[in-house]
Structure 1
Protein backbone atom coordinates (compact mmCIF):
# COMPACT_ATOMS: atom_id res chain seq x y z
CA UNK A 1 0.00 0.00 0.00
CA UNK A 2 2.69 2.49 0.97
CA UNK A 3 4.74 1.65 -2.11
CA UNK A 4 1.64 2.36 -4.18
CA UNK A 5 1.20 5.74 -2.48
CA UNK A 6 4.86 6.52 -3.10
CA UNK A 7 4.45 5.56 -6.76
CA UNK A 8 1.45 7.90 -7.02
CA UNK A 9 3.50 10.70 -5.48
CA UNK A 10 6.39 10.09 -7.88
CA UNK A 11 4.00 10.02 -10.84
CA UNK A 12 2.32 13.27 -9.79
CA UNK A 13 5.69 14.96 -9.18
CA UNK A 14 6.87 13.87 -12.62
CA UNK A 15 3.74 15.26 -14.24
CA UNK A 16 4.09 18.56 -12.38
CA UNK A 17 7.76 19.02 -13.33
CA UNK A 18 7.05 17.98 -16.92
CA UNK A 19 4.16 20.42 -17.14
CA UNK A 20 6.29 23.21 -15.70
CA UNK A 21 8.97 22.60 -18.31
CA UNK A 22 6.54 22.36 -21.24
CA UNK A 23 4.67 25.55 -20.27
CA UNK A 24 7.94 27.48 -19.80
CA UNK A 25 9.18 26.17 -23.16
CA UNK A 26 5.93 27.19 -24.90
CA UNK A 27 6.14 30.65 -23.30
CA UNK A 28 9.72 31.02 -24.55
CA UNK A 29 8.76 29.91 -28.07
CA UNK A 30 5.82 32.32 -28.18
CA UNK A 31 8.13 35.09 -26.99
CA UNK A 32 10.55 34.36 -29.83
CA UNK A 33 7.65 34.73 -32.27
CA UNK A 34 6.37 38.02 -30.86
CA UNK A 35 9.47 39.62 -29.37
CA UNK A 36 13.10 38.52 -29.53
CA UNK A 37 15.49 35.74 -28.64
CA UNK A 38 16.96 37.64 -25.68
CA UNK A 39 13.55 37.87 -24.00
CA UNK A 40 12.79 34.22 -24.75
CA UNK A 41 16.11 33.13 -23.23
CA UNK A 42 15.24 35.16 -20.15
CA UNK A 43 11.92 33.35 -19.81
CA UNK A 44 13.57 29.98 -20.36
CA UNK A 45 16.34 30.63 -17.81
CA UNK A 46 13.89 32.06 -15.28
CA UNK A 47 11.66 29.01 -15.66
CA UNK A 48 14.57 26.61 -15.38
CA UNK A 49 15.53 28.18 -12.04
CA UNK A 50 12.31 26.60 -10.77
CA UNK A 51 12.04 23.45 -12.92
CA UNK A 52 15.53 22.07 -12.18
CA UNK A 53 15.23 22.39 -8.37
CA UNK A 54 11.69 20.97 -8.50
CA UNK A 55 12.93 17.91 -10.37
CA UNK A 56 15.73 17.44 -7.86
CA UNK A 57 13.23 17.80 -4.99
CA UNK A 58 11.06 15.07 -6.50
CA UNK A 59 14.03 12.72 -6.81
CA UNK A 60 15.09 13.29 -3.20
CA UNK A 61 11.65 13.45 -1.59
CA UNK A 62 10.30 10.19 -2.99
CA UNK A 63 13.31 7.97 -2.29
CA UNK A 64 11.73 6.25 0.72
CA UNK A 65 8.29 4.86 1.53
CA UNK A 66 6.57 2.83 4.19
CA UNK A 67 5.76 2.98 7.88
CA UNK A 68 9.15 1.57 8.85
CA UNK A 69 10.88 4.32 6.92
CA UNK A 70 8.75 7.18 8.26
CA UNK A 71 11.77 9.04 9.66
CA UNK A 72 13.57 8.68 6.33
CA UNK A 73 10.49 9.89 4.48
CA UNK A 74 10.31 13.04 6.61
CA UNK A 75 14.08 13.60 6.36
CA UNK A 76 13.93 13.17 2.58
CA UNK A 77 11.20 15.80 2.26
CA UNK A 78 13.10 18.27 4.45
CA UNK A 79 16.36 17.60 2.61
CA UNK A 80 14.62 17.86 -0.77
CA UNK A 81 12.97 21.16 0.13
CA UNK A 82 16.22 22.57 1.51
CA UNK A 83 18.13 21.59 -1.62
CA UNK A 84 15.34 23.01 -3.78
CA UNK A 85 15.35 26.38 -2.01
CA UNK A 86 19.14 26.65 -2.00
CA UNK A 87 19.49 25.62 -5.64
CA UNK A 88 16.73 28.03 -6.68
CA UNK A 89 18.55 30.89 -4.95
CA UNK A 90 21.88 29.91 -6.52
CA UNK A 91 20.42 29.57 -10.02
CA UNK A 92 18.56 32.88 -9.76
CA UNK A 93 21.71 34.61 -8.53
CA UNK A 94 23.73 33.17 -11.41
CA UNK A 95 21.03 34.13 -13.92
CA UNK A 96 20.89 37.69 -12.60
CA UNK A 97 24.60 38.34 -12.06
CA UNK A 98 26.38 36.29 -14.71
CA UNK A 99 24.11 36.56 -17.74
CA UNK A 100 23.11 39.73 -19.55
CA UNK A 101 19.46 38.68 -19.74
CA UNK A 102 16.76 41.16 -18.85
CA UNK A 103 15.71 40.63 -15.21
CA UNK A 104 12.04 41.24 -16.01
CA UNK A 105 12.02 38.27 -18.44
CA UNK A 106 13.80 36.07 -15.89
CA UNK A 107 11.09 36.99 -13.41
CA UNK A 108 8.35 36.24 -15.96
CA UNK A 109 9.77 32.75 -16.54
CA UNK A 110 10.16 32.21 -12.80
CA UNK A 111 6.55 33.24 -12.12
CA UNK A 112 5.22 31.04 -14.94
CA UNK A 113 7.03 27.99 -13.54
CA UNK A 114 5.99 28.66 -9.93
CA UNK A 115 2.38 29.21 -11.01
CA UNK A 116 2.40 25.87 -12.82
CA UNK A 117 3.83 24.27 -9.69
CA UNK A 118 0.69 25.41 -7.86
CA UNK A 119 -1.84 24.71 -10.63
CA UNK A 120 -0.58 21.42 -12.10
CA UNK A 121 -1.25 19.21 -9.04
CA UNK A 122 -4.90 20.29 -9.09
CA UNK A 123 -5.14 19.47 -12.80
CA UNK A 124 -3.61 16.02 -12.35
CA UNK A 125 -5.10 15.03 -8.99
CA UNK A 126 -8.12 13.26 -10.47
CA UNK A 127 -6.08 11.40 -13.09
CA UNK A 128 -3.49 10.07 -10.63
Structure 2
Protein backbone atom coordinates (compact mmCIF):
# COMPACT_ATOMS: atom_id res chain seq x y z
CA UNK A 1 0.00 0.00 0.00
CA UNK A 2 1.49 3.30 -1.09
CA UNK A 3 1.09 6.16 1.34
CA UNK A 4 0.72 9.48 -0.48
CA UNK A 5 2.42 12.46 1.12
CA UNK A 6 -0.23 15.14 1.58
CA UNK A 7 2.20 17.71 2.96
CA UNK A 8 2.22 20.78 0.70
CA UNK A 9 5.49 21.45 -1.12
CA UNK A 10 6.11 24.68 0.79
CA UNK A 11 6.13 22.70 4.07
CA UNK A 12 8.73 20.15 2.97
CA UNK A 13 12.41 20.69 3.85
CA UNK A 14 13.25 20.71 0.12
CA UNK A 15 11.38 24.01 -0.20
CA UNK A 16 14.22 25.80 1.60
CA UNK A 17 16.62 24.61 -1.08
CA UNK A 18 14.25 25.72 -3.85
CA UNK A 19 13.86 29.12 -2.21
CA UNK A 20 17.64 29.50 -1.97
CA UNK A 21 17.94 28.60 -5.65
CA UNK A 22 15.36 31.21 -6.61
CA UNK A 23 17.21 33.84 -4.59
CA UNK A 24 20.52 32.93 -6.24
CA UNK A 25 18.90 33.12 -9.71
CA UNK A 26 17.59 36.62 -9.03
CA UNK A 27 20.85 37.83 -7.47
CA UNK A 28 22.88 36.39 -10.34
CA UNK A 29 20.61 38.09 -12.89
CA UNK A 30 20.84 41.43 -11.10
CA UNK A 31 24.61 41.18 -10.83
CA UNK A 32 25.02 40.26 -14.49
CA UNK A 33 22.66 43.04 -15.55
CA UNK A 34 24.57 45.58 -13.49
CA UNK A 35 28.03 44.49 -14.62
CA UNK A 36 27.53 43.22 -18.19
CA UNK A 37 24.22 44.73 -19.31
CA UNK A 38 20.59 43.78 -19.74
CA UNK A 39 21.10 40.91 -22.19
CA UNK A 40 23.47 39.18 -19.78
CA UNK A 41 21.02 39.82 -16.95
CA UNK A 42 18.02 38.19 -18.54
CA UNK A 43 20.21 35.43 -20.00
CA UNK A 44 21.47 34.58 -16.51
CA UNK A 45 17.91 34.74 -15.16
CA UNK A 46 16.70 32.35 -17.86
CA UNK A 47 19.50 29.91 -17.04
CA UNK A 48 18.63 30.05 -13.36
CA UNK A 49 14.94 29.58 -14.09
CA UNK A 50 15.66 26.52 -16.24
CA UNK A 51 17.42 24.89 -13.29
CA UNK A 52 14.76 26.03 -10.83
CA UNK A 53 11.78 24.82 -12.88
CA UNK A 54 13.43 21.44 -13.45
CA UNK A 55 14.15 21.11 -9.72
CA UNK A 56 10.58 22.09 -8.85
CA UNK A 57 9.34 19.30 -11.10
CA UNK A 58 11.73 16.82 -9.49
CA UNK A 59 10.66 17.86 -5.98
CA UNK A 60 6.99 17.50 -6.91
CA UNK A 61 7.50 14.01 -8.35
CA UNK A 62 10.05 12.71 -5.83
CA UNK A 63 8.32 13.59 -2.59
CA UNK A 64 4.84 12.26 -3.35
CA UNK A 65 5.15 9.14 -1.17
CA UNK A 66 6.58 8.28 2.26
CA UNK A 67 6.85 5.34 4.62
CA UNK A 68 8.45 1.90 4.47
CA UNK A 69 5.44 0.37 2.73
CA UNK A 70 5.86 2.84 -0.12
CA UNK A 71 9.53 2.03 -0.80
CA UNK A 72 8.95 0.82 -4.35
CA UNK A 73 6.73 3.81 -5.18
CA UNK A 74 9.36 6.16 -3.72
CA UNK A 75 12.10 4.67 -5.91
CA UNK A 76 9.87 4.85 -8.99
CA UNK A 77 8.85 8.44 -8.29
CA UNK A 78 12.50 9.48 -7.79
CA UNK A 79 13.43 7.83 -11.08
CA UNK A 80 10.48 9.41 -12.91
CA UNK A 81 11.29 12.78 -11.35
CA UNK A 82 14.93 12.63 -12.43
CA UNK A 83 14.10 11.54 -15.98
CA UNK A 84 11.44 14.24 -16.26
CA UNK A 85 13.90 16.79 -14.91
CA UNK A 86 16.48 15.90 -17.57
CA UNK A 87 13.92 16.01 -20.39
CA UNK A 88 12.46 19.27 -19.10
CA UNK A 89 15.93 20.82 -18.85
CA UNK A 90 16.79 19.87 -22.43
CA UNK A 91 13.44 21.16 -23.71
CA UNK A 92 13.76 24.46 -21.85
CA UNK A 93 17.30 25.03 -23.14
CA UNK A 94 16.12 24.29 -26.70
CA UNK A 95 13.18 26.66 -26.27
CA UNK A 96 15.41 29.46 -24.97
CA UNK A 97 17.96 29.05 -27.78
CA UNK A 98 15.22 29.08 -30.43
CA UNK A 99 12.95 31.78 -29.01
CA UNK A 100 15.16 34.31 -27.22
CA UNK A 101 17.24 36.75 -29.26
CA UNK A 102 19.62 38.36 -28.41
CA UNK A 103 21.02 35.89 -25.93
CA UNK A 104 24.34 35.60 -24.13
CA UNK A 105 25.03 31.86 -23.84
CA UNK A 106 27.84 32.28 -21.32
CA UNK A 107 25.53 34.12 -18.92
CA UNK A 108 22.76 31.57 -19.56
CA UNK A 109 24.99 28.65 -18.62
CA UNK A 110 26.54 30.56 -15.72
CA UNK A 111 23.09 31.17 -14.24
CA UNK A 112 22.17 27.52 -14.75
CA UNK A 113 25.37 26.16 -13.19
CA UNK A 114 25.23 28.56 -10.25
CA UNK A 115 21.65 27.58 -9.38
CA UNK A 116 22.54 23.88 -9.73
CA UNK A 117 25.55 24.43 -7.48
CA UNK A 118 23.31 26.09 -4.93
CA UNK A 119 21.10 23.01 -4.83
CA UNK A 120 24.07 20.68 -4.54
CA UNK A 121 25.71 22.68 -1.76
CA UNK A 122 22.51 23.57 0.08
CA UNK A 123 22.51 20.23 1.87
CA UNK A 124 25.94 21.02 3.26
CA UNK A 125 24.86 24.50 4.35
CA UNK A 126 21.61 23.48 6.06
CA UNK A 127 21.56 23.39 9.82
CA UNK A 128 21.07 20.09 11.59
CA UNK A 129 17.37 20.92 12.12
CA UNK A 130 15.80 21.02 8.63
CA UNK A 131 12.48 22.48 9.85
CA UNK A 132 13.84 25.99 10.47
Could you tell me the TM-score, scaled by structure 2's length? Answer: 0.85
Gaps of 5+ in 2: none
2:85 aligned partner: 84
| Aligned residue pair count | 123
Q: Pairwise CA RMSD of aligned residues?
A: 2.0
Q: Which runs of 5+ in 1 are unaligned?
A: none
**Residue by residue, what CA displacement relative to the aligned partner does 1:56-103 show, whole Å, maximum 9, x if unpaired?**
110110000111111111111011111111101111111122211111
Q: Where in structure 2 are the equivalents of 1:1-128 lying within 5 Å?
A: 11-100=12-101, 101-128=103-130
Whether the aligned pair in 1 keeps the contact of 2:17 and 2:122 (CA below 8 Å) is: yes
**Distance of aligned partners of 1:85 and 1:124 in 2 relative to their CA distance in 1, 3 Å threshold:** same
The 8 Å contact of residues 17 and 117 in structure 1, kept in 2 or not, is answered as yes
How far, CA to CA, are the matches of 1:77 and 1:111 in structure 2?
22
Q: How far does the alpha carbon of each residue in 1:98-122 deviate from its partner, in whole angstroms, 9 at most, with x for none? A: 2111111111111111111111111
Distance (Å, rounded) in 2 between the aligned partners of 1:63 and 1:125: 24
Aligned residues of 2:54 and 2:85 also touching (Cα < 8 A):
yes
CA contact (8 A) 2:32 2:107 kept: no
Runs of 4+ residues over 6 Å off in structure 1: none
Q: CA deviation at 1:35?
A: 2.4
* Alpha-carbon contact 1:42-1:103 (below 8 Å) kept: yes
